[in-house]
Structure 1
């Protein structure tokens, strides 16, 4: 029998990169999955990649309260109940202090923070007792210039994840976070980079990560599923998947 047979999951931001890797791992294990995306091109590409009848792809903008409510209705219709919720969506833009505008600041917080919080609020009634929520945050202990809005929005997610872990205790729903470092994805996690900038970003990851390479989306997915399915006596932790980037190994690697 497949490892995840009978399990039902929701993955926001599941049409590409780390989210799509989580979706594929779930489907390979026999789970039924609702996955969301905002970009129509990526949604259609995801539909082609995950042809399984156990995958339900839906367009949903995490910055829209109407879309979040509609997502809950869609999940209830397709899945009924949910075992695992992966709150993986997010945006990142590189902007110096002088370049950040009110609009770009609000964009980060509307998607990354507000969208994450209200997604959980909206889907909470559908999560089974003993289920699991996994947020995607970021390896934030070592900071690079130009990501102040992004880092702040993800730290806010980490903060309220701690509170939600306490609030969900009566239902035995575990709440944990996944903190990736440099992960090799088509965009390297940052919107608007040129091909040259992406290559440079990946090179920085190889040079500054103690394990001397970027991580893979499959490694992130394995960690996410560990928190959701295997770490049954673990709640209220942020689990780093960053090759030692934020664990004080940087100086030892040189």
Structure 2
């Protein structure tokens, strides 16, 4: 699954699944750009990944940031072969108590952010390129307290189909990867100790048929497959990597 000579953009690439995906894409030959909201985390990620990584501070919910991101990509890469629209937020949304601000935060990042990220780089995407959207196992099940988060991920799943149909003439494939419960910073409380997180991971892992939480690298492997020519016959599809949680 060589990506030699190809360019890739990973949004939300400074930690978790995005960081693991950026690392795997780079190891397989791609020249990689990552985005993130925190300049400090971006620099830490670049130090981990290598100096040849292009790090761009950008909030995907901001169209101004996305325009600046595209300008930098055009200057540095000229064209783009792979987009992993990974940036997202995960916040609990109990039906009786969720407020408008939380609703807007989720939808602006997970729906608006994904849509306009794709739109922003379309003129840079080479014909025959690959776009991968990060969805979630939540788009397939009904889970209390996660209505808005689940809806936002269902929208991203729908985008994989509709965008694929719209980009057929350019042979740009749009597919989705659907992670389950993965051990990433998004699941860590702000002041949570390592011991507390391990207890949380064990509890959540007990709810997964395979018996554990997933690792970011396990999602990155699916992203690599969708980014490569090995998945050339896949269009508008979704790869679910959730330890069986949405199926069993």
Match of residue 161 from structure 1? 160
SS at match of 2:220: helix
- 1: CA distance between counterparts of 2:154 and 2:28? 31
Q: Cα distance, 1:191 vs. partner?
A: 6.5
> Deviation digits for residues 59-111 of structure 1, max 9, x if unmatched?
00011010011111111111111111000000111232233111110110111
Residue 86 of structure 1 pairs with residue 102 of structure 2: no
SS at match of 1:125: coil
Residue 187 of structure 1 pairs with residue 182 of structure 2: no
- 2: CA distance between counterparts of 1:167 and 1:20? 29
Is contact 1:91–1:191 with CA below 8 Å preserved after alignment? no
TM-score scaled by length of structure 2? 0.93
Match of residue 103 from structure 1? 101
Q: Cα distance, 1:197 vs. partner?
A: 6.3
Distance 1:193 1:144, change over 3 A: farther
Residue 240 of structure 1 pairs with residue 226 of structure 2: no
Residue 44 of structure 1 pairs with residue 43 of structure 2: yes
- 1: CA distance between counterparts of 2:224 and 2:210? 22
Superposed, which structure 2 residues align to 1:31-180 within 5 Å?
31-53=30-52, 55-140=53-138, 141-180=140-179
TM-score scaled by length of structure 1? 0.91
Q: Cα distance, 1:47 vs. partner?
A: 2.0
Gaps of 5+ in 2: none
Q: Aligned Cα RMSD in Å?
A: 1.8
SS at match of 2:66: helix
> Deviation digits for residues 4-41 of structure 1, max 9, x if unmatched?
22010000000100000010011111210110000233
- 2: CA distance between counterparts of 1:197 and 1:154? 28
Distance 1:35 1:108, change over 3 A: same
- 2: CA distance between counterparts of 1:191 and 1:158? 27
- 2: CA distance between counterparts of 1:193 and 1:92? 17
Q: Cα distance, 1:200 vs. partner?
A: 4.7
